[in-house]
Amino acid sequence: MAGNIPGEPQESPRISRKLPSLINSVGKVTLPQYRAQSILDIAGRVVQADSVDHFLDELLPYPASCKRSLRIPKRPRIDPSNNPFRTLKNAGNMSEEKVVKLFAAALKKHELTPGMGLGRCQYKPDKRRLSRKRKRKRKGREDVPKVDMLRQKIDAALFRERYLPKDGRPHWPDQGVPVEFKGGKLGVALDAFQDQEDDSVEEEGEQDEAEEPQDEDDVAEEDEVEDLLDVEDEDEDSGSESGSDDESGSDSDSGESDDEESPTLDTPPLEPRATTRKEVRGQLTTYSELLQLIQHRVAVFMLLILGRRFRLLRWDRAGVIVTKSVDYFKDPDGLCEFLWRVSHLSDAALGFDPSAIRLSASDPEWDDMDQHAVARKSDVDSTPRVLKLNELPLPASAPGTATAVQPYFVFDYVRKMFKKSIADPRWPRFKLRVSVGPGKTRNFLVGQPVFAANGAVGRATRGYVAVDCETGRFVWLKDSWRAAYEGVEQEGLILQRLNKESSIKDVPTLVCHGDVFGQRTLTAAWWERANPLPPSNDTESSAPQTQGRGSETNPGGQRGVKRREREEESSDSVLDQSGDAAKLREGCRIRHHQHYRLVVNEVGMPLKQFQSAPQLVYLLLDCLTTHHLAATCPNLHILHRDISDSNIIILPKVAASRNNTWILDWTGILTDWETSRPIDKQPGAGARQPEHTGSWQFTSVNLLNHEKGVKIQDELESIFLILVYYSIRYLKSSISDREAVAAFLDEVFDCFTVKDGKIKCGQRKYTVMRHGKLEYYNPNQGLERVMFSRNGSPLDHLIAEILMRFSANYKAMKYDSWAADKSRKSAEAPPPPRVLYKGVQLVYDLDKHAELDDGPDADKYEAALGPQLLSSFAGDIPPEPTKEERDIGADVWRHRWMAWMFRRSLRMPGWESIVRAKKDRVPRGWVSPHPPIPHDVSAGGAASVTSSK
């Protein structure tokens, strides 16, 4: 039974505008813009290792097992007279292309990476699709999934020999260690992590390189290498599926263009060349993001070659750990040791997730997935309708509860979604393990994710239509890196409580969930060790520490010897629920993340597939009711805190209608309760993690402008904003021009302002919510109200009524804030200042103008200056709200009023006058005139490099 809301949750700082918000903009996003936002997101999340040895011993240690089968052969000692990088003595003065060629030849000639090979891929991105044949896209045909929609080209990568490509393309699913090269001629200008080191040291090193002449043996060896590489290049071209199918423009694909699958993403044929440190940092960040998206990774090790110097990098979902740059010609041991280790260590040691088993075409699970993709007669049409007698099984009551359990169906769209996820063989298939208890796991088969959050750092949520190996049923599997802090619950535990409430029907149904054992980010722990607490607090660690070989406390998270032996003896990963949660550390922007998987029964459709205006309102009403029950049920009292369109799905359900018939009804399901939080009965609990992110487009004006806790009215405003956005984007309205539709959505939902180095709400969104008018600019008529029917409609009435109340609420909030500030200042108000000019007080004699003031019209003039008119000239004095305005503004604090308004509008006639547009009303490839990336925010894009001591 629902109760009253006891209080409000205490919040973490909210940082809403990140890569997911950028990519969801209505305007297309270019690769440089994408990388510019990536730079902002990674700022402050870079930690530096003391040395290469420190990096290797902590993050890439040799296995401690004494078993012969697990021993790694000792690396051959480097002969000073036979430096493996002798041809790169003058790399600081070579072009990037030449450095790549000579480095690749050195690895091969001196066998520095046994069992692995360096694949060069700096010229060609992955192919747009498998065949170059020009085919006209047929009506209703699904777009083929793409591996890399940004079409990026890293310079090279180390591959296991069985995966080593010969077509000069990146082959992102197969890469082991990505390698990026930058020409040494620019010195430190292209070093992405040089910002806080002494540039003079590097520049001096580059000068030393320039002064070293090449001897005749070096020149001869270099010529020999060039001849060898020329032959290899010819082999690569002949082995390529299409030698000229790349950026030169010869890839003249038609019909299925890259823009068709992602209308907001601009993918230029040529990747722009990075020319500054920030741009290089953006490159490395997006490379890491792509690898962690396509592969299942705990971490990504990366090698950065800068002329004659190198850095080692380790990326995880919290940030990146980097070494100082080292001259590999003068000191080749560090680089050779890294190459030797990555060649001999297991895939798990290189950061691959051992709980994700990659499948091959010879595996029986591969065939099983193919069979599940084939349509069957038993598949159910998902179209809403009145069901015929015995057409479908009816819901049954769950044992011990009053909740009706939906029978299991395979809806047509579910199988299509799964089929699309395995359509492209370049996307790897996996068998994922999910914990169901101590020592117990369940397996699920997945292909390409249906949903993947953008960004190299963060929760990195991926959603899959999966096949349950135990039951053979389709389920939804969510793979994410949850915030691992005290007081932050697993989403599965929250769903368990929601599922127990019989009144809450429109939430996902939990199947199983669990943390992936031993898979926690390390970057925050390294930062905390570099910035220790004062001695009095040393006994309390903000992150769980484990005993590690060679150090008293090991932020690298290495396992004990016996446990490591057990894991290395088997490819299986032990999954466990245990693990101490981290404590929030003041001053640390880097979050602790724990790898986590969740499986639910419901596989839904995206909200944009709604069929009509009343259906859209009904779907949002479902979510509004669910939100109300979760916030008011005595056993719950939680707020969702991330209401967005991506967290609302459509699910067909069998339901009884009033006239004793059964219908297949589309229901709105409120998903992703990961960031929800209990409404604290006693305020002051404080933040639980360094930041809380949300969807920029649907975050309330109040939260965008103020760092406050999420409240009921903020969540209700988010639901209302979704209603407005989807109505304008997918319904026909008085905004007849599609360009105008895009401009309106861009200005209201995507734009922002910057104040005091912080990103704030855009002016247009504030104006709409503050003044309560949904208007657009018509060049012929000026400002006009947005209407969905010429004579008005229930939707127009609904939007106007809700807007009026939010406007009144913001008016009251602004006045109350001003009044409180005025009261606080008046207690210490100084005397009014005198008017001085050069130190002399000025005196004006106004009495000589008294005759003009005493005229017969003076009273009329005075009467015209009412309080509202006077206040409008006062600038900083907001108008005081009336009692009526305060009363209606208070409606947005309560679910009941908005739910009543939704229900009332659905009972009104006139919905038939609103027409669903046949296609998206935002033109494909539309370009926003407003910059999507802020240039003067606090983060500034500069990487904060912290030395780990």
Taking the C-alpha atoms of residue 712 and residue 130, their distance in angstroms, rounded to an integer, is 50
Task: Please give the Cα distance from 358 to 431 (Å, whole number).
Answer: 7
Residue 201 in 3-state DSSP? helix
Length of the chain, in residues: 949
What CA–CA distance (Å, rounded) separates 333 from 338? 9
Beta bridge partners of 597: 479, 514
Give me the helices (H) in 447-507, please. 491-500
- What is the pLDDT, as a whole number, of residue 842? 67
The burial of 97, by beta-carbon neighbours within 10 Å (0-12 exposed, 13-18 middle, 19 or more buried), is given as middle
The two structure tokens encoding residue 384: 């809403």
3 state SS of 449: coil
Low-confidence residues of the chain: pLDDT under 50: 1-10, 132, 134-135, 137-145, 198-207, 209, 211, 231, 236, 238-265, 267-272, 400-402, 538-578, 681-682, 870, 938-949
- Return the SS3 of 480: strand
pLDDT at 120: 92
Q: What are phi and psi of 631, to 5 degrees?
A: -80, -25
Under 8 Å between Cβ of 126 and 144: no
Q: What is the pLDDT of residue 438?
A: 84
Q: Where are the beta strands (DSSP E) in 67-211?
A: 116-120, 156-160, 177-182
- Please choose, from the candidates 504, 494, 495, the residue with its C-alpha nearest in 3D space to the C-alpha of residue 402: 504
Q: What is the dihedral of CA 293, 472, 495, 715, to 10 degrees?
A: 60
Centroid of chain to Cα 437: 29
Written as six digits, the tokens of 928 are 């926003």
Which residue from 521, 526, 497, 524 is spatially nearest to 509, judged by alpha carbons? 497
